[in-house]
């Protein structure tokens, strides 16, 4: 819910930084979603409650645990904010860490699943940010183009 609120809040602001954030977020989420789905299709990693016969604190299906999709989404959100120089970036990085810890605590992920989610989320956001800056300069830096 926090992610939805943040995105909605940023969309209604008219600054170019907010549009950069939304553009980066949407593309990075799409890429990270595809990467996580491919990993889940080609390999299956059981969740802790399946392996150790424990009862998780939250109801959850027996799908593959690696990488954590919740942590991937939070990482994409946090680094999209960081790469667009938002003041909320540090808060979201901290929130990402708490989400990862919570997922392990409730018994639906291993710490390596969380690390995998962070790697996928960061890599997706970094790659999209690099490609957009490299090939879509007029969208990413319109103020520099106008000054020429």
Mean pLDDT across the chain = 82
pLDDT given for residue 123 in this prediction: 97
Q: What is the mean pLDDT of residues 67-82?
A: 93
Split at pLDDT 50, 70, 90, the class of 124 is very high
- For the chain, report the end-to-end CA distance as a whole number of angstroms: 42
Percentage of the chain lying above the pLDDT 90 cut: 43
Cα–Cα dist 102/106, whole Å: 6
pLDDT at 147 exceeding the cut of 60:
no
Rounded to an integer, the average pLDDT of 89-105 is 92
| Predicted pLDDT of residue 145 | 45
- Band the pLDDT of 132: cuts 50, 70, 90: confident
Q: Percentage of the chain with pLDDT > 70?
A: 74
Residues sharing a CB contact under 8 Å with residue 44, sequence separation 6 or more, in sequence order = 64
Residue pLDDT, tens place only, 10-66: 555 556 667 788 888 989 999 999 999 999 999 888 777 767 777 766 666 767 778
Contact criterion met (CB below 8 Å) for 56 and 107 = yes
Residue 3's pLDDT band (cuts 50, 70, 90): low
Q: Where are the alpha helices (DSSP H) in 62-105?
A: 69-83, 89-105
Contact 65, 108 (CB under 8 A): yes
110-131 burial, b at 16+ Cβ within 10 Å, e below that, comes to: beebbebbbebbbbbbeebbee
- On whether the CB atoms of residues 72 and 28 are closer than 8 A, the answer is no
Report d(CA 20, CA 81) in Å as an integer: 9
pLDDT bin (cut points 50, 70, 90) of residue 146 is very low
């Amino acid at each position: 819910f926090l992610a939805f609120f943040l995105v909605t809040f940023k969309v209604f602001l008219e600054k170019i930084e907010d549009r950069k954030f939304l553009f980066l977020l949407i593309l990075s989420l799409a890429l990270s979603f595809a990467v996580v789905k491919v990993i889940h299709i080609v390999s299956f990693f059981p969740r802790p409650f399946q392996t150790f016969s424990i009862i998780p604190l939250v109801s959850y299906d027996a799908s593959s645990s690696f990488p954590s999709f919740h942590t991937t989404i939070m990482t994409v959100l946090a680094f999209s904010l960081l790469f667009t120089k938002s003041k909320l970036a540090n808060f979201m990085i901290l929130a990402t860490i708490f989400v990862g810890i919570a997922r392990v605590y409730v018994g639906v992920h291993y710490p390596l699943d969380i690390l995998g989610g962070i790697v996928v989320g960061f890599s997706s956001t970094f790659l999209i940010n690099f490609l957009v800056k490299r090939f879509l300069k007029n969208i990413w830096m319109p103020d520099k183009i106008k000054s020429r």
